[in-house]
Amino acid sequence: MIGVTKGLCQVGVPFEMSEDRIRELEEKIRVAREEYYNLSPVLSDQEFDALVDELHRLKPESPEVTAIGAPIPQLSVWEKVAHQIPMGSLNKVNSEAEFDEWATKATTQVRETHLLGREQLVDFFITHKIDGSSMELVYERGHLVRCVTRGDGIIGEDVTTNIIQVPNIPHILTRSGDRTIRGEIVMLKSVFQEHYASEYANPRNTAAAKVREKKKGGIDCKNLHFIAYWIDSPTVRWDSIYQMFGELQETGFMIPSQPMASDANGIKELFRAETAKRDQVPYEIDGMVVSINNCQVLKELGDLNMRPRGQVAWKFDAAMCVTRVVDVRWQNGPTGRITPVANVEPVNVGGVTITSISLHNLSLFRDLKLFKGCQVLVSRRNDVIPYIEKNLDIEVV
């Protein structure tokens, strides 16, 4: 190594994890979760997911790994309401290999429970994983009576006066009876660009802000949409998720685009196709939700930590991943210019394994303040050039 700044780690020196690191991760995740759900996010989704993934590897039973949403702020202006049925979350997979592992396990459980033969294919269902603000709509005798945010999955906020202004939410269902509808409040990309891009970071944050905004009586909710993905009823049962989506649509709800049912191999093909055209979707999505299609089987598989065993969120390839610096060397280019280059622990970003990253110039090198074993957020800008976006182990002033 030539002339490396004091404080950078040496080649081949492993970074030892400790209880201190676990406590540090738990605190970072707890704070980030509260910031995210209370509309002041500091970390990107990729940064947050990376921290949770690391903590899951170190301590899978940690409460910060299994937590759902975030507690309601003590000083909330909205009434706190218990959900009729807890609003859980989903386990996630990040690659085809991880999906295969989950699908194989789910298929085995279904066959063992229902005595299916090896030649019988298990039917799955795939639809968009919508990046919005989760909402529960409660209908009594066909009339909308309450709209509740996710909160911590058990207790949410009653934001009915705002949400009834969302134009595509039916106030009276075409079919009578009690119903509980789950879905996401979103802001369409086109609406965001036209009205809110100069004020907010993205459509998701904008939608979440308008859901809970008291100013002007929540009138901006007229610029939001509700996309339904689940329906519960004390008197009606649906044979399949596909049938349930049909019921939602017939009842007057907007549903995610192109929901499809298929076997595991067909689901992989559908995922690839949706990945290729994700930018064409009018609302933001960050992956696909894959589920056992049979509703009864899905119920029998149950859940763990409020996450159903028969469903999974298959996230799109991360634009960014977290790794650690193991060395910095100085590279002499063809023009004689000397450039700092960081060697990092191998990390896969968008299907490419990255082991070294140019720091481009001394100014960037100084700004990053790299040190031994520091975590860095790595991207491939324009899907090509490896780049260190951020040193995650320094405080931002």
- Domains for the chain: give ranges and CATH numbers: 19-66 (no CATH), 79-315 (3.30.470.30), 320-391 (2.40.50.140)
Alpha-carbon distance 241 to 116, whole Å?
A: 20
Q: How far is CA 311 from CA 90, 153, 202, 293, in A?
A: 7, 17, 27, 9
pLDDT value of residue 61: 87
pLDDT tens digits, 261-278 = 889 999 999 999 998 888
Alpha-carbon distance 354 to 283, whole Å?
A: 31
φ, ψ of residue 128 to 5 degrees: the values are -65, 140
> Could you tell me the pLDDT band of residue 256, with boundaries at 50, 70 and 90?
very high
pLDDT value of residue 24: 84
Q: Record the tokens describing residue 354, joined without a space.
A: 């990255």
Specify which of 158-162, 197-201, 236-240 reaches the highest per-range mean pLDDT. Answer: 158-162
Of 28, 59, 129, 390, catalytic: 129
Contact status, residue 303 vs residue 88, Cβ threshold 8 Å: yes
369 is catalytic: no
Alpha-carbon distance 249 to 228, whole Å?
A: 9
DSSP string, 197-250: TTT-SSHHHHHHHHHT--GGGGGGGGG-EEEEEEEE-SS---SBHHHHHHHHHH
pLDDT value of residue 6: 31
Calculate mean pLDDT across residues 360-389.
Answer: 81
* Residue 63, SS3 per DSSP: helix
pLDDT value of residue 1: 33
Determine whether 172 is exposed, middle or buried from the number of CB atoms within 10 Å of its CB (0-12, 13-18, 19+).
Answer: exposed
Q: Phi/psi class of residue 141: alpha, beta or left (left: φ > 0; alpha: ψ in -120 to 50)?
A: left
Residues of the chain above pLDDT 90, percent? 45
pLDDT for 9 beyond 70: no
> Could you tell me the pLDDT band of residue 17, with boundaries at 50, 70 and 90?
very low
Alpha-carbon distance 324 to 345, whole Å?
A: 6
Alpha-carbon distance 316 to 272, whole Å?
A: 9
pLDDT for 330 beyond 50: yes
pLDDT tens digits, 135-153 = 999 999 999 999 999 988 9
- In sequence order, what are the beta bridge partners of 172? 143
Calculate mean pLDDT across residues 349-376.
Answer: 83
Closest residue by Cα to residue 203 from 230, 180, 227: 227
pLDDT value of residue 71: 74
Alpha-carbon distance 98 to 221, whole Å?
A: 38
DSSP 8-state class, residue 121: P
φ, ψ of residue 287 to 5 degrees: the values are 160, -160
Alpha-carbon distance 120 to 6, whole Å?
A: 62
pTM reported for the whole predicted model: 0.74
pLDDT value of residue 277: 86
Token look-up 């690191």 returns 21
Calculate mean pLDDT across residues 95-111.
Answer: 90
Q: At residue 284, what is the residue type?
A: E
pLDDT value of residue 241: 94
The mean pLDDT value of the chain amounts to 84
pLDDT value of residue 317: 73
pLDDT for 25 beyond 80: yes
CB atoms within 10 A of CB 94: 18
